[in-house]
């Protein structure tokens, strides 16, 4: 902060000359409280992520070449490449991205499920990913939503939309069990039941606030 002796005004920016009389300003020694420049921090993170992406591309290419030339029978390089992609997406989307933390949690959970599905497929597909990993991811989301509702108790009704989305996703393990695509359908049924009861409990206990939130979200008059 600066001060003009002639005009007796204080200048809060970094100007060196008074905008009124063009006199040289005197530094008062009282610094203005400023927020840190977030853009500089984000630029550094983006630079780091770009470097990591380049290293991952090179590593993935080397792994694919080694797998193709020296190893036969199993494409383990797919697992390496997919894992590196997941790490990069986690860094770029979850840490640097500006999306809502709720949808970051959902997206990263389902990307982890897809990664494990790929591992199951590459290693011979025994069905453990669809039978246990997918419903396990849904149960993890249900637990995360419940924790967030308890922590953010004043705004618990804002998680209803996320609950509906997870509830719809929990129908997938039930459908896979009905089509006999999984070895064990019990975990999928448990995941669906937990999602359903969590939504119904929120709707019943929340009463008017829950109904008002649903009307607002879905534009129901």
Which residues are CB-contacts of 113 (< 8 A; sequence separation ≥ 6)?
129, 133, 134, 137
Cβ atoms 3, 9 nearer than 8 A: yes
Q: Over 70: is that where the pLDDT of 57 sits?
A: yes
Q: Tokens 């590593």 correspond to what residue?
A: 59
Percent of the chain scoring above 90 in pLDDT: 23
Q: Over 80: is that where the pLDDT of 24 sits?
A: no
103-133 pLDDT, tens digit per residue, is 788 888 888 999 999 888 888 888 888 899 9
11: helix, strand or coil: strand
Helices (H), the chain: 38-70, 76-89, 101-122, 128, 134-151, 160-169, 171-178, 186-206, 208-217
> Averaged over 181-207, what is the pLDDT?
91
98-107 pLDDT, tens digit per residue, is 667 777 888 8
> Averaged over 17-32, what is the pLDDT?
67
Six-digit token pair at 111?
């990307």
Query: What is the Cα–Cα distance from 163 to 167, expressed in whole angstroms?
Result: 6
Higher pLDDT, 9 or 84: 84
């Amino acid at each position: 902060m600066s001060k003009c002796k002639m005009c007796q005004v204080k200048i809060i920016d970094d100007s060196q000359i008074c905008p009124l009389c063009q006199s040289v300003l005197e530094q008062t020694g009282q610094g203005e409280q400023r927020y840190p420049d977030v853009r500089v921090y984000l630029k550094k993170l983006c630079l780091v992520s770009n470097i990591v992406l380049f290293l991952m591309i090179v590593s993935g290419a080397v792994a694919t070449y080694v797998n193709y030339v020296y190893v036969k029978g199993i494409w383990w390089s797919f697992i390496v490449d997919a894992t590196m992609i997941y790490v990069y997406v986690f860094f770029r989307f979850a840490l640097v991205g500006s999306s809502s933390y709720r949808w970051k949690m959902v997206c990263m959970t389902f990307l982890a499920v897809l990664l494990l599905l790929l591992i199951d497929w590459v290693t011979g597909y025994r069905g453990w990913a669809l039978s246990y990993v997918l419903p396990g991811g849904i149960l993890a989301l249900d637990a995360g939503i419940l924790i967030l509702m308890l922590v953010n108790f004043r705004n618990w009704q804002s998680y209803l939309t996320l609950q509906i989305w997870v509830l719809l996703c929990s129908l997938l393990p039930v459908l896979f069990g009905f089509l006999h695509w999984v070895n064990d359908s019990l975990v999928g049924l448990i995941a669906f039941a937990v999602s359903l009861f969590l939504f119904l409990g929120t709707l019943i206990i929340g009463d008017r606030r829950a109904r008002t939130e649903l009307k607002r979200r879905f534009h129901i008059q």
